[in-house]
Amino acid sequence: MLSISTKERCLRERSAGSRSGQAWYLDFLAAFLIFVFSLVFFFTQTSNFQSKEEGTLAKTVSDAQSISSQLLLSGYPTDWTNTTVLRIGIADNNLLNITKLNQFHSLDYTFSRIKFGTTNDYLVFFADSNNTVLNINGTCGTGKPSVISDPIGGNCAPINITSKTELAKNERYIGHNSSIIKMVVYVWH
């Protein structure tokens, strides 16, 4: 008799133990699913942030290239003024047109950004072969008013906007007064 009751007790303990083991298995499965879901969510969100950052930097670089390309053309119409301009251009036959440069400089900054098709800030200036900013007709540059300084004693101060975020730079060469100068376009977000 003693052996039978011990057998029954062992069977009862096993079946009770296996039920509690199933409960542990379900807890483990729920925790594992929550963990996997959290990882998937985290990596999805992180990759979205990275692609968004890469997208804005690519847009900034594209805007710098677009603005510099537009400026090296004559603009539209070719004899544009501040009231008739559809596309801004400051060059004729790869030579700097001072009249168009003055028109460009006198344009409203927000209006010029619309004409360039950008929401980014920009700065355009000219430099010689030594990277000295040139004073052309009393201006050191055109673009975001807060980064442009007026010439002091006829000389322009060096331009330093490297502290801006997502900064793109594009350089092009253009003829001016029987020499070749560099047109520098900075665009930032």
pTM here is: 0.70
**Structure tokens given for 116:** 């360039």
| Cα gap 52→180, rounded to integer Å | 39
* Mean pLDDT taken over the chain: 84
Percent of the chain with pLDDT over 70: 83
Q: Which residue has the tokens 């977000």?
A: 189
Q: How far apart are CA 43 and CA 67, in angstroms?
A: 36
Residue 181 confidence (pLDDT) above 70:
yes
Question: Which residues sit opposite 125 in a β-bridge?
Answer: 184
pLDDT digits (tens, 9 = 90+) for 14-59: 555 555 545 677 888 888 999 998 988 887 777 655 555 556 788 9
Check pLDDT > 80 for residue 162.
no
Q: Which two tokens stand for residue 11?
A: 């069977």
The owner of tokens 């379900």 is 26
